[in-house]
Each structure stands twice: as structure tokens, then as C-alpha cells.
């Protein structure tokens, strides 16, 4: 159990790290962050922040000496960076990052545990893609195996003719067949150092241009009927990786049950509602887990919850929402507004 006053290091400087650091400070810890120079909004709430490149071994070594525990806030931290830290002080485990960074590895890992992803094939050449479209069919989606989030690094293939119009592949990819689904949902869990697992209620997630627009509770009967099966897979994934912290798996709710989409080895946008809508938020429980503290209650404390992202210029005038007593506004402090950029979120609660 990490003593009060200890230092938690956070790799990454975005809003997820910011919200984790706020919870850590409330629990009596000191947070320091590390991320390459940029609009690192977590630095506003960290006691110290390293704005250094991921390949700056001297800065990383200095950062490591100041940390009692190290975690991360996004899955694109280079795996090579993790070698700087004592594995006993690194949560989650290295395998979580390695698996989630590669869509092909991720799907194979889940399949080995009995999960069911969309039909897929590895793509290294245009000939591979032609063969995949012939075998799996179209429509489908071509995705880069690495990087890519919020709809980036993805191309819709509506018919075989679309393959001819694509530019040359710059990196390995994966082709996924289209899934007929009724809704999308997340399973978010927290796993403690002792192996205890707790789940939050699953939200219905609505996307716009590949970016999460809103999460809703109750999620509806279709999702509710498939949550237990999805949770069983998520538990297997967390246990297989000996995971510590918050882990998210995203699913399609289909006529034949839940189909696995992807995982995130971190706190997740679709769990932002837990800050006000659950007894213990995903951010606090992540800090509890990595610090070896008892996990908090994950029950929902409202009858209805709607979390809406403020994307791009939607943030303008957002403070006017505070006239509604049921609204909770979170602005991330980002300095520049860009289309598709998450600037904050609003959570609306209804209580019985």
C-alpha cells in the first residue's frame, strides 16, 4: 500500500492524466507527469512535469528516480519507455500496453480467451487487401494496426472498387468485416493488486465521425441483456494480463450477442460519467488500484445519466450549461480549439 505523500508518475499529459492526478492529490499523493512538449493539460495539476521526448533516456531515468509508482493515461506510450521502470512499480502491466497497441495482436489475444471479434485479416500489401475484401466481403474497414484513435487511421471500404482508390499503405494494417449491430457499449472494470475486480454499469455509446459523442444510462434492454457475457470476457482479459488499474473493452451489441471491438488499457472517455454518476469514479479507482488501496464502490448513484463530449467549437459558451442544477461541466484547459478535438464534457444526472 502506497503511503500518503508518495509520488505517482503519469506517462502522458492529456485530460485523462489530468483527471487521474486530481484524484491522486485528493488521496494524499503527489503526481508528476512525463510527455513530449505540447498542449499538456495535466501539467496544470501535477507537482512537476517533464516535457521531454520519449527517447530522452536521461530525462526518463531522472523521472523514474522520483516516482514510487508509474502508470499511463493513453495507450500510445512507446513500450520501450517501460523498460526504464522497475516492473514491480509499473501498473498496469507491460502486456496490457503491448497488446492494445497492435490491433492484430489484440484480436488474437481476445480470440484465444473465447472472445468474438469481427472477421478480420492482417494486411501488409495491396494484394493482401484485395484478398481480404474477396474473402470477408465489403463493406468493411481498413485500420492501421498501430496508433489511430477517434476514427483516425481508418478507411471505409464500401466495395472492391474502393481498394483501387486508396493510397499506398504506409504501415501494416488490418481489414475488418462490417458488423451489423444495434448499439455500441463499453465494459469498464477496475482490478486491484489482489485480483479483485469491480465493474461499472455499461453505457450505450453514440459516435459521430468515429469520435464518442455521448454515453447514456440506462443503456437499454439490448445492451443490458449482453453485459454479463461481455463482462465475463473482460474479466478473463484482465486476469490473463494480471492487470492492475482500470481496463476498458468496447463491444457491438448484435442479434447474436456481443462482438468485441477493441480494448483500452486505461481510464476511458465512456467512463467520464462516473465522476458524478458513480459512488467512486474510474479515475479514483485507478489511483486506488495502482497505489494498492482498497477499491471503491462502483454502483451508479443516479437513475439516468447522459455524458456529452464538447468537441471542437462546441466548447464555446459551455459555461452557460451551469444554469442547470443537474449539469456538471468539465473543461480540460486546452489552449487551441480544433475540429475533432475533445475540449471538455458535460454530465447530466437525474435522481429518483
Question: Is 262 part of any known ligand binding site?
Answer: yes
Question: Is 56 part of any known ligand binding site?
Answer: no
What is the SS3 assignment for 56? coil
CB atoms under 10 Å from CB of 75, counted, come to 20
Question: Is 285 part of any known ligand binding site?
Answer: no
Close Cβ partners of 268 (under 8 Å, ≥ 6 residues apart) = 186, 188, 246, 248, 282
For the chain, how many residues are written? Answer: 352
Phi, psi of 208 (to 5 degrees): -135, 115
How many Å apart are CA 338 and CA 343, to the nearest integer? 9
Question: Is 41 part of any known ligand binding site?
Answer: no
DSSP-derived secondary structure letter, 230: H
Question: Is 179 part of any known ligand binding site?
Answer: yes
Question: Is 175 part of any known ligand binding site?
Answer: no
How many Å apart are CA 247 and CA 187, to the nearest integer? 8
Beta bridge partners of 345: 309, 330
Question: Is 114 part of any known ligand binding site?
Answer: no
Q: For residue 218, say if its preceding peptide bond is cis, omega within 30 degrees of 0.
A: yes
Question: Is 261 part of any known ligand binding site?
Answer: yes
Question: Is 328 part of any known ligand binding site?
Answer: no
Strands 327-331 and 304-311: unpaired
Question: Is 305 part of any known ligand binding site?
Answer: no
Question: Is 226 part of any known ligand binding site?
Answer: no
Question: Is 176 part of any known ligand binding site?
Answer: yes
Residue 149: C-alpha distances to residues 14, 146, 264 (Å): 14, 9, 10
Question: Is 316 part of any known ligand binding site?
Answer: no
What is the per-residue DSSP string for 188-220?
Answer: EEEE-TTS-EEEPPPPEEEEETTEEEEEEES--
Sign of CA dihedral 77, 82, 84, 86: positive
DSSP-derived secondary structure letter, 46: S
Residues in binding site = 103, 143, 148-154, 176-179, 184, 207, 261-262
Residues in binding site for ATP = 103, 143, 148-154, 176-179, 184, 207, 261-262
Amino acid at each position: 500500500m502506497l503511503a500518503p505523500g508518495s509520488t505517482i508518475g503519469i506517462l502522458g499529459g492529456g485530460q485523462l492524466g489530468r483527471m487521474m492526478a486530481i484524484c491522486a492529490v485528493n488521496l494524499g499523493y503527489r503526481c508528476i507527469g512525463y510527455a513530449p512538449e505540447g498542449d499538456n493539460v495535466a501539467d496544470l495539476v501535477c507537482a512537476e512535469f517533464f516535457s521531454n521526448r520519449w527517447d530522452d533516456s536521461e530525462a526518463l531515468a531522472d523521472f523514474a528516480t522520483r516516482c514510487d509508482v508509474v502508470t499511463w493515461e493513453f495507450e500510445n506510450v512507446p513500450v520501450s519507455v517501460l523498460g526504464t521502470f522497475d516492473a514491480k512499480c509499473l501498473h498496469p502491466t507491460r502486456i496490457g500496453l503491448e497488446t492494445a497497441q497492435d490491433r492484430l495482436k489484440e484480436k488474437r489475444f481476445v480470440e484465444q480467451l473465447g472472445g468474438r471479434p469481427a472477421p478480420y485479416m492482417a494486411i501488409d500489401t495491396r494484394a493482401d487487401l484485395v484478398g481480404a475484401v474477396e474473402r470477408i466481403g465489403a463493406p468493411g474497414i481498413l485500420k492501421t494496426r498501430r496508433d489511430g484513435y477517434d476514427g483516425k487511421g481508418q478507411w471505409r471500404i464500401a466495395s472492391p472498387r474502393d481498394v483501387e482508390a486508396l493510397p499506398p499503405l504506409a504501415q501494416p494494417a488490418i481489414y475488418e468485416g462490417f458488423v451489423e449491430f444495434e448499439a455500441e457499449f463499453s465494459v469498464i472494470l477496475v482490478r486491484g493488486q489482489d485480483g479483485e475486480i469491480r465493474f461499472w454499469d455499461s453505457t450505450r455509446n453514440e459516435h459521430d465521425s468515429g469520435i464518442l459523442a455521448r454515453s447514456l444510462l440506462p443503456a437499454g434492454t439490448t445492451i443490458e441483456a449482453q453485459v454479463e457475457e461481455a463482462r465475463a470476457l473482460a474479466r478473463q482479459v484482465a486476469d490473463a494480463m494480471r492487470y492492475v488499474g482500470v481496463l476498458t473493452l468496447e463491444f457491438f451489441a448484435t442479434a447474436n450477442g456481443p462482438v468485441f471491438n477493441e480494448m483500452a488499457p486505461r481510464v476511458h472517455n465512456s467512463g467520464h460519467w462516473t465522476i458524478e454518476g458513480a459512488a467512486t469514479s474510474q479515475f479514483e479507482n485507478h489511483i486506488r488500484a495502482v497505489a494498492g488501496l482498497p477499491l471503491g464502490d462502483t454502483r451508479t448513484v443516479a437513475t439516468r445519466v447522459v455524458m456529452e463530449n464538447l468537441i471542437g467549437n462546441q466548447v464555446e459558451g459551455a459555461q452557460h450549461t451551469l444554469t442547470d442544477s443537474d449539469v456538471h461541466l468539465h473543461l480540460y484547459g486546452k489552449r487551441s480549439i480544433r475540429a475533432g478535438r475533445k475540449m471538455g464534457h458535460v454530465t447530466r444526472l437525474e435522481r429518483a
